[in-house]
Amino acid sequence: MRTLTVDRVAGAVLAVFALLVLWESRKIPFGTVADPGPGALPVLLAVLLLVCSIAVIVLGKGGDQIAAVEWKEWRHALAILGACAFLAAAFERLGYRLTLFLALFALVKLVERKGWVASLAFAAGFALGTHYLFSTLLRVQLPRGVFGF
């Protein structure tokens, strides 16, 4: 039997995620090669993720054994998971810029323990920069929230 390593477990988790995306993407029109629909990109990315995750599973024998892993960074993982839950719950209510700013500021200031100026600059720069990229340049409609930004 093959050994259970961190790489193989991570590859299996990513493969399951890719299969879930493929399953859910069947509800979105795929289109054709000449005229791709909105479902084409998620399917393409999910297939690419599935291929890479299978490669990680097959080639991941050199990683650490899953039983030997010490969970020293569990607080960081929990904070990131909490930030993701906050982002999912608050995007529509608070808007893209404010929600992303608050989540990033909390992660940088509280989890990474950076200074106030660095935390504010990073969170504001990332939130405003990605909003400009997606909203202005790529014309992706982002939630504005109750405050209008």
Q: Can you give the pLDDT of all 149 residues of the chain as single tens digits?
A: 467 888 999 999 999 999 999 999 999 988 888 888 888 899 999 999 999 999 999 998 887 887 777 888 888 999 999 999 999 999 999 999 999 999 999 999 999 999 999 999 999 999 999 999 999 998 889 888 887 76
**78: phi then psi, degrees, rounded to nearest 5:** -65, -40
Query: What is the C-alpha to C-alpha distance for residues 121 and 123, in angstroms, rounded to an integer?
Result: 6
Burial environment of residue 120 by CB neighbours within 10 A (0 to 12, 13 to 18, 19 or more): middle
Q: How many Cα atoms sit within 13 Å of 75 on the Cβ side?
A: 5
Q: Counting beta carbons within 10 angstroms of the beta carbon of residue 106, is it exposed (0 to 12), middle (13 to 18) or buried (19 or more)?
A: middle
Please tell me the predicted confidence (pLDDT) of residue 146. Answer: 83
Query: CA geometry: angle at 133 spanning 44 and 37, to 5°?
Result: 30
Residue 94's pLDDT is what?
A: 94
Q: Which candidate, 117, 118, 122, 123, places its Cα nearest to that of 103?
A: 123
The whole-number pLDDT of residue 2 equals 61
Contacts of residues 106-109 at CB distance under 8 Å and 24 or more positions apart, as own/partner, are 106/79, 107/79, 107/80, 107/83
pTM to 2 decimals? 0.66
pLDDT of 93? 93
